[in-house]
Amino acid sequence: MDESVGWVQISAVSGMATAKIITGRLEAEDIPTRLRYEAAGMIYAITVDGLGEVRILVPMQEQERAVALLAQTYEDGELTWEKE
């Protein structure tokens, strides 16, 4: 990753599982992500006083697109599912 890119926080969630779902959605749209969190919260699964908080960051130039993407909602009928 280009270290000269300015990274901005677009969300803060409780727990790594939720953070991975969000980053997966962003990365599926070719938006790079980084996670910032306290190691102690992950090691001991502590969610008190912000220790379980995971901050999601994207490159500054992708901030608007990432926020808009995460704001989208879908109704069941709008999604196309392939049947096997």
Domain map (residue ranges) of the chain: 7-71
Phi/psi of residue 63, nearest 5 degrees: -55, -50
**pLDDT for residue 2:** 56
- Determine if the pTM surpasses 0.75: no
Upper half-sphere CA count for residue 46 (Cβ side, 13 Å): 11
**pLDDT for residue 75:** 74
Write out the chain's pLDDT in tens, 84 residues. Answer: 456 679 999 999 988 889 999 999 999 999 999 999 876 655 555 555 556 789 999 999 999 999 999 998 877 666 666 665
Class of domain 7-71 as given by CATH: alpha beta
